[in-house]
Amino acid sequence: MMKTACVTGGSGYIASALIKMLLEKGYAVKMTVRNPDDMAKNSHLKDLQALGSLEVFRADLEEEGSFDAAVAGCDYAFLVAAPMNIMSENPEDELIKPAVRGTLNVMRSCVKAGTVKRVVLTSSAGSVIVRPDLQGDGHVLDEDSWSNVDFLTATKSGIWAYPVSKVLLEKEASRFAVEHGISLVTVCPVVTAGAGRPHQRPGLPLPSVRDEAAFWALRGMEASGVVALVHIDDLCRAELFVADQPAAAGRYLCCGVNTAAREIVRFLSENYPQYTVKTSLL
């Protein structure tokens, strides 16, 4: 029989690619968006619906029970939707708390459904690697590694609230799953690269004459020593794999390659000269 999967945040970059792959592999998909009538964000739905059985539901992370209809009858639930207002002036109330509440909101819908065999939570490597003790080489990070919430909330440096939100939502999701007997697997991708749909910016900005700031964004990613990348297709394949593997459990760090900003710029310059990559910034 055809398996059914719910994917939250269907207008987003990762969710759109995941929905496409699910449909291509014969899954029926029920996806959620905050506003189905916003064609500026949802113009890709027509193309996706041509691939297979795709239903679109309106749901909001902040509305209790709004995911009930989308999750009902599903075999799998892929939790991809998350608040992304990382530059908020009030990140505690506008990013961190909504991220935790929203994750639990969807998981409550999974409990009500009674059919969900596995929940796959898309988190971020931001929940793993942001810690002051990672200086120098030789550090090994695994599923027991967490970003330092106390350090982040004390210093409030940069986009500190984003990794904090990921740590807290992961831990709350894990606690909830144990309490309610939910099979939960968490995937923590690094910077996700690949082609986007017309209404979306690609996962990795291209450093070019038109967007010099993108180069400095890449350099900022090197603060941990490398630019860690995973291709969007590899991430989606990983999520489908852990969804369907009975032995999968806990957290998985999803990374394809560790590189450097100068290597990315050099590669793009040599292989895509039409974009006039600014090698002078190296």
Concatenate the DSSP letters of all residues of 202-263 into one string. Answer: -SS---BTTBHHHHHHHHHHGGGSSEEEEEHHHHHHHHHHHHH-TT--EEEEE-SEEE-HHH
Helix (H) or strand (E) run with residue 166 in it: helix 161-180
Q: What's the mean pLDDT in 186-211?
A: 65
pTM of this prediction?
Answer: 0.90
Please state which of the ranges 9-13, 52-56, 140-144, 231-235 shows the lowest mean pLDDT: 140-144
Q: What's the mean pLDDT in 222-241?
A: 89
Checking if the pLDDT of 210 tops 70, the result is no
| Residue 245 identity (one-letter amino acid) | Q
Contacts of 16 (CB under 8 A, 6+ apart): 10, 44, 48, 197, 200
Query: What's residue 206's pLDDT?
Result: 45
Query: What's residue 281's pLDDT?
Result: 67
Please state which of the ranges 105-114, 178-187, 193-202, 256-265 shows the lowest mean pLDDT: 193-202
The span from the CA of 180 to the CA of 113, in Å, is 12
What percentage of the chain exceeds 70 in pLDDT? 88
| Residue 119 identity (one-letter amino acid) | V
Whole-angstrom CA distances from 206 to 11, 126, 212 are: 22, 21, 9
Please state which of the ranges 75-84, 187-196, 204-213 shows the lowest mean pLDDT: 204-213
Query: What's residue 31's pLDDT?
Result: 97
| Residue 68 identity (one-letter amino acid) | D
End-to-end CA distance of the chain: 54
Four-CA torsion 228, 229, 230, 232, nearest 10 degrees: 140
